[in-house]
Amino acid sequence: MSKAGPPKSHPLFVRITHWINALAMILMIGSGWRIYNASPLFDFTFPREITLGGWLGGALQWHFAAMWLLVINGLVYLIYGLVTGHLRASLLPLSPRTVWADTVAALRLKLDHTTGRYNAVQKLLYLGVLALGVLVVLSGLAVWKPVQLWWLAALMGGYEGARLVHFFCMSGIVAFVIVHLALVFLVPATFLPMITGRAPAPKTNEANE
Amino acid sequence: MKRDKSLIAATLKDIAPDLKRIERRLFLRQSLSLGALTMLSGCDLGSGNAVQGALDAMSKWNDGVQAALFSQTRLAKTYAPSDITPNFPFNAFYTEAEAPVINGKTYKLQLSGKITDKKPWSIADLRTLPQESQITRLICVEGWSAIGHWGGVPLHVFLDRIGADKTAKYVGFKCADKYYSSIDMPTALHPQTILALDYADEPLPTPLGYPLRIRIPTKLGFKNPKFITEIFVTNDYPGGYWEDQGYNWFSGS
């Protein structure tokens, strides 16, 4: 994989799909919160200021428009990643032992970070958020079409079960995004490579330690 | 007259529909606050209508996708009597106290549009037609759902009886509370789409739409109009009370 020349981090297709996904996620989560507020599952609502759509009808329009962006972009990412072997190369192998070792190292703040090469904790989190991404779409389809896609709804305990699955997948994704953004703030050198595709110079890395 | 009364006794609930309309006007500003407008339009900030146009176009596209997903033979799940939601919720763009009270003895269902026999129907007439009952889940566009026991005339039976043009695109409904809506012909002919006269084996209570509503378990709740006074068949898109404000027209389940 590695060869001489300027160090590469993220391939172009990863960078493009990453930023389209970021936009789609903002639209889906912002409008989804407004839809949630119309009939809250739990004893709280999301502050209006951080929701999208203005009213339920507007939020639904955003949600059902942006879902195409999310799904098409997600499919492109997954298919391209599987066909090129990118997903396997960057996210596997993964074993409980390495996850444990890297978790301990991370908690002791002794974990190396190399842009474009993931430690076991990162692999686990990225695989986890990919799984949540698939599940949030499937549960969303079940909530949208509980009659036509009855088998999908049945897998999730029916319409009301699918609503809960959809909500908890969103919660998991939001938790991931918070950690993800916190780490980018902690290690700013990881930000530019997601745009340029070039790994940061080693000294930049040290400056951040 | 009704309006004056409600203004005097204006509670927050009374003005809820107006608030929703104002909310809609705030829609653009809210979009701006998220920066989403600029991201999507890619032009100057004055092009808010372009964004709304794109969203409307996507909603139309989703109408087509849902029509393609819809199967006339796939039935909505039916439930056991023990699953029925106690105190089936009232929901409308006004409060329960404002629900129209209709005299079922003098009531006549009017027919118009592409229908051969436009003779108005009384409730007694409708009860002479074959009746069917179902325990199904109503899913509200807001997200909540409730299981209820509905009985009445399958709409396809009624459309046959009145000589409706089943090649037409739309079946529309006008209601005593000024509500209106419309559905696609395939859904109108679905076996579980019924002109409901009964709830729990009794005539519909007023909050649930006495004397006549439509019950469509393959569509969201707002596509199940109550207090129906007129049914029409047409090829001209009739829209609906909420649909004209932005709710997706097909809104299938």
Render B40-56 in DSSP notation, one character per residue. Answer: HH-S-TTTHHHHHHHHH
Do A104 and A75 share a structural domain?
A: no
Q: How confident is the model at residue A94 (pLDDT cuts 50, 70, 90)?
A: confident
Which has the closest alpha carbon to B248: A95, A62, A3? A62
Residue A205 lies in a domain: no
How many CA atoms lie less than 13 Å away from B32 in the CB half-sphere? 12
Do A103 and A16 share a structural domain?
A: no
Among A158-172, B45-59, B115-129, B163-177, the minimum mean pLDDT is found in B45-59
Residue A141 lies in a domain: yes
From the list B36, B74, B140, the residue facing A148 with the nearest CB is B74
Q: How far apart are CA B96 and CA A182, in angstroms?
A: 49
- Run of H or E including A140: helix A120-144
List of residues 6+ apart from B109 with CB closer than 8 A: B120, B121, B122, B126, B212, B228, B229, B230, B231
Q: What is the complex's ipTM, to 2 decimals?
A: 0.87
The CB density around residue B71, as the number of other CB atoms within 10 Å, is 12
Do A118 and A102 share a structural domain?
A: yes
Residue A3 lies in a domain: no
Name chain A contacts of B145, Cβ cutoff 8 Å. 159-160
Counted domains in chain A: 2
Residue A185 lies in a domain: yes
User: Is the per-residue pLDDT at A206 higher than 60?
Assistant: no
Higher pLDDT, B214 or A114: B214
Domain that holds residue A116: 97-196
Number of H helices, E strands in chain A: 9, 0
Do A132 and A41 share a structural domain?
A: no
Smallest CA–CA separation between A133 and chain B, in Å? 21
Do A19 and A103 share a structural domain?
A: no
Q: How far apart are CA A179 and CA B108, in angstroms?
A: 63
User: Is the per-residue pLDDT at A79 higher than 70?
Assistant: yes
From the list B58, B71, B139, the residue facing A148 with the nearest CB is B71
Work out the average pLDDT over B18-42: 53
Q: How far apart are CA A15 and CA A197, in angstroms?
A: 7
Q: Hey, is B10 helix, strand or coil?
A: coil
Tokens 């325990």 label which residue?
B135
Name chain B contacts of A148, Cβ cutoff 8 Å. 69-71, 74, 218, 252-253
Tokens 């701006």 label which residue?
B32
Q: How confident is the model at residue B40 (pLDDT cuts 50, 70, 90)?
A: very low
Residue A15 lies in a domain: yes
Q: How confident is the model at residue B220 (pLDDT cuts 50, 70, 90)?
A: very high
Which pLDDT does position A10 carry in this prediction? 85
The CB density around residue B244, as the number of other CB atoms within 10 Å, is 12
List residues of B whose CB lies inside 8 A of any A CB.
Answer: 20, 23-24, 26-31, 33-34, 36, 39, 54-56, 58-59, 62, 66, 69-71, 74-77, 137, 139-145, 217-218, 242, 245-248, 252-253
> Would you state the structure tokens that stand for residue A145, as one six-digit string?
């079409």
Could you tell me which residues are beta bridge partners of residue B170?
B184, B234
Q: Indicate the domain borders of chain B.
A: 2-69, 81-245
Do A157 and A101 share a structural domain?
A: yes
> Would you state the structure tokens that stand for residue B127, as one six-digit string?
């009860």
Smallest CA–CA separation between B110 and chain A, in Å? 31
Between A and B, how many CB-CB pairs are < 8 A?
A: 106
Percent of chain B surpassing pLDDT 70: 81
pLDDT tens digits for range B162-197 = 999 999 999 999 999 999 999 999 999 999 999 999
> Would you state the structure tokens that stand for residue B235, as one six-digit string?
């090829």
List of residues 6+ apart from A181 with CB closer than 8 A: none
On average, the pLDDT of chain B sits at 89
Residue A206 lies in a domain: no
Best A61, A69, A145, A152 member to test B by mutation, with max B CBs in 10 Å, is: A61
Do A64 and A48 share a structural domain?
A: yes
Q: Hey, is B139 helix, strand or coil?
A: strand
Do A87 and A68 share a structural domain?
A: yes
Name chain A contacts of B142, Cβ cutoff 8 Å. 38-39, 56
Work out the average pLDDT over A6-32: 90
Q: How confident is the model at residue B43 (pLDDT cuts 50, 70, 90)?
A: very low
Name chain A contacts of B253, Cβ cutoff 8 Å. 145-148
Do A76 and A17 share a structural domain?
A: yes
Do A107 and A84 share a structural domain?
A: no
Q: Hey, is A70 helix, strand or coil?
A: helix
Work out the average pLDDT over B140-158: 98
Contacts 24+ apart (CB under 8 A), A184-188: A187/A113
**How many whole angstroms from its chain centre is CA A134?**
10
Could you tell me which residues are beta bridge partners of residue B183?
B171
User: Is the per-residue pLDDT at B2 higher than 80?
Assistant: no
One CATH from 3.30.56.10, 3.30.930.10, 3.90.420.10, 2.60.40.10 for B81-245: 3.90.420.10
Which has the closest alpha carbon to B136: B191, B177, B203, B184? B191
On average, the pLDDT of chain A sits at 89
